[in-house]
Amino acid sequence: MRPVVAILLVGLLFWRVAHAERIVAVYIGISHTFASDLRVRQPASGSDATFESVSWAPHPLTQGAPYYGLRFSYFPARAPHTGAAVDFTHYKMYAETAHIVRVRGTWNGVHVDDLSQLSARLQHLEVSHGVNLTSINAQFRWSPALAKGIWARHIGAGLLVYLPHAEGAVGNTAVSGGYQYGGFGGQVFGGAEYGLSSRFGLLIEGKFDIGRLELDLEPRTRIETSVRTLHLIGGVGFHF
Q: What is the DSSP string of 112-127?
A: EEEEEEGGGTEEEEEE
pLDDT digits (tens, 9 = 90+) for 188-235: 999 999 999 999 999 999 999 999 999 999 999 999 999 999 999 999
> Per-residue b/e over 196-215, b at no fewer than 16 CB within 10 Å?
eeeeebebebebebebebbb
Question: Do residues 216 and 222 touch, judged by C-beta distance below 8 A?
Answer: yes
Q: What is the pLDDT of residue 59?
A: 82
* CB-CB neighbours of 179 under 10 Å: 15
d(CA 170, CA 159): 32
pLDDT digits (tens, 9 = 90+) for 161-186: 999 999 999 999 999 999 999 999 99
Percent of the chain whose predicted confidence (pLDDT) is above 90: 87
Question: Has residue 85 got a pLDDT over 60?
Answer: yes
Q: What is the pLDDT of residue 8?
A: 55
Percent of the chain whose predicted confidence (pLDDT) is above 70: 90
Closest-CA residue to 229 (of 203, 199, 209, 211) = 209
Q: Where are the domains of the chain?
A: 2-214+233-239
| pTM confidence score | 0.90
End-to-end CA distance of the chain: 26
d(CA 157, CA 143): 18
Question: Do residues 232 and 226 touch, judged by C-beta distance below 8 A?
Answer: no
The CATH number of 2-214+233-239 is which of 3.40.50.2300, 2.40.160.20, 3.30.70.100, 3.40.50.300? 2.40.160.20
pLDDT digits (tens, 9 = 90+) for 3-32: 555 555 555 555 555 568 999 999 999 999
DSSP-based three-state secondary structure for 60: coil
Question: Do residues 170 and 211 touch, judged by C-beta distance below 8 A?
Answer: no
Over residues 118-132, the mean pLDDT reads: 95
Closest-CA residue to 21 (of 152, 133, 134, 150) = 152
